[in-house]
Structure 1
């Protein structure tokens, strides 16, 4: 209260008036009744002046809040003076800043959601169209048995692609919502990497691609095995899809006092420099992206690794290959 300059000024004026009244009473210049009346009028005047000033400030605050509520975004409320009203102004200023920031985030999220829905519908539209066409063709009586098997395989492939996309989106949604509780298990790294690559061995064999895993067989990693397996699998899948026939995938791992490092390198087509800053963004497809690429696998991998207090980096040279570095900090 004593930091409020207006309050201090009001008290000082009242004290001065009281001193003047005391002096007047002592010298008997004016009758005491008139002195008391004069003192009362002055005191009331000072109180009215002080109260009016506070009401004016409160009115300004009310008008500012009303204008802010109806869309005005001017932040001219900051007050560097001392006092209760100044503290209230500054708190309102901070609140308005927070609300503006949240408004901006909501606007950004709205744009992102609209783009995401557009991308998802586009990704689902392609396999759905393919399934519809194949189903119509299967109804033809004169269709050969070989063609029927081919169209059935195509339908199953399209359904697998849709299922993978939907599952990946659900996983990302769970991570975004913070509803995933990551376990902290001690996992053997070599067995983890072998398990992540097992489902791609047939595809690599068909493409005449070689796989090499290098590192200490006894080295372990503290992580959630299921989710980390998902992250590594997506990166390996990306490397295989962008590596030509006869190429190679090399996975190495090591440990130091700060983190456990897993490096996944390929001899593929590489990533253009302008695409490197964006490859972990959802639905982003670079210039060298494969035709079947959705642009969600690497985004999911990054979310999983970051949620486990890790980091992921990539370096790439076009027509030479790419190397992903996964760091799991202690």
Structure 2
């Protein structure tokens, strides 16, 4: 019998039998009928105790088999019996843990698939410029190559290296955001100063395309991490400028209310198609209106930065009329 292997069970059983024997002998010496009653009561209690113990061991055996199946990856089993008692509570708790393990395992599978897809995307993004540079380097080995061609190839190699550097830096930034190792500081800053720092790096591209910029609400105060919010806004602005035709307009407005601070960036560009709109913040996603140099990581990084500061970002767009990006920085958790 499996139960007899348990030392505690053996100890209690021996103690029970000894106790029954002693009290039965005392009972028989006092009165024969009284002794029989004591013996019968002891036997019944012993049978009940053994039956209950065997039932518990049987239930534990089933739990053990259930746990072995869980180890084999069968998370769909349900052992709850909706009864009262320690075993029923234990079954319910094991079932809860099983569900947690199932969800965690599913998340790990999804993360592996996502990581694999990202690695494939990164490989593709790096392979294209590297292949181009290898071809140009081979051409530069030609001693008879004209000076103007040599200068052109050198300039193109430098541009490709800059692109790779930006891609690697952006990927490292997103990895840090995903790992939650970047501490966002909450600082009160004037909206005009924040916007100016974000616009400054793109002033030359805007001037070359003759894009008219207008800013309103500069006196509002925004609470955020100035460094990272500048990075988020800069990526949005780059996207707007990239898709705005020469002579277009770019408008930035800052609004404030008791719930949140709002930064709205509007352009008069080519817009985003309805098919691309739901995926515009997805990493490495390139819509049909994207340029050939687009990587599809800037807006995804902006979204990660804004979410890490307890904010939100959304976009509305009509093809041929432009796009409107709305950034909300909440003043409290809602």
Same fold (TM over 0.5): yes
Deviations 1:155-196 (A, max 9, x none): 111011111111111111111111111111121211211221
3-state SS in 2 of match to 1:187: strand
Give the TM-score taking structure 2 as reference length: 0.88
- Among 158, 176, 179, the alignment partner of 1:177 is 179
Instruction: Tell me, in whole angstroms, the C-alpha distance in 2 between the residues paired with 1:267 and 1:158.
Output: 29
Deviations 1:252-302 (A, max 9, x none): 112111111111111111001121111111111111111111111001001
Match of 1:15 in 2: none
Match of 2:110 in 1: 108
Match of 1:17 in 2: none
Deviations 1:121-172 (A, max 9, x none): 0000111111111111111111121111111111111011111111111111
Match of 1:8 in 2: none
Post-superposition, which runs of at least 4 consecutive aligned residues in structure 1 deviate over 6 A?
none
Match of 2:297 in 1: 296
Match of 1:45 in 2: 47
Q: Which runs of 5+ in 2 are unaligned?
A: 1-26
Instruction: Tell me, in whole angstroms, the C-alpha distance in 2 between the residues paired with 1:267 and 1:122.
Output: 31
Instruction: Tell me, in whole angstroms, the C-alpha distance in 2 between the residues paired with 1:102 and 1:163.
Output: 35
Match of 2:78 in 1: 76
Alpha-carbon distance, 1:74 to partner: 2.6
Match of 1:283 in 2: 284
Match of 1:20 in 2: none
- Among 189, 207, 210, the alignment partner of 1:208 is 210
Assess, with a 3 A threshold, how the Cα gap between structure 1 residues 220 and 36 changes in structure 2: closer, same or farther: closer
Instruction: Tell me, in whole angstroms, the C-alpha distance in 1 between the residues paired with 2:222 and 2:76.
Output: 52
The aligned runs of 1:93-132 (5 Å cut-off) are 93-132=95-134
Is the aligned partner of 1:329 residue 2:324? no
Match of 1:228 in 2: 229
3-state SS in 2 of match to 1:271: coil
CA RMSD of aligned residues (A): 2.0
Q: Which runs of 5+ in 1 are unaligned?
A: 1-24
Moved more, 272-281 or 314-323: 272-281
Moved more, 65-74 or 295-304: 65-74
Instruction: Tell me, in whole angstroms, the C-alpha distance in 1 between the residues paired with 2:89 and 2:133.
Output: 65
Is the aligned partner of 1:148 residue 2:150? yes
Instruction: Tell me, in whole angstroms, the C-alpha distance in 2 between the residues paired with 1:328 and 1:36.
Output: 79
Give the TM-score taking structure 1 as reference length: 0.89
Aligned length: 306
Instruction: Tell me, in whole angstroms, the C-alpha distance in 2 between the residues paired with 1:274 and 1:52.
Output: 64
The aligned runs of 1:238-277 (5 Å cut-off) are 238-277=239-278
Moved more, 74-83 or 124-133: 74-83
Alpha-carbon distance, 1:37 to partner: 2.9
Alpha-carbon distance, 1:210 to partner: 1.8
Assess, with a 3 A threshold, how the Cα gap between structure 1 residues 35 and 219 changes in structure 2: closer, same or farther: closer
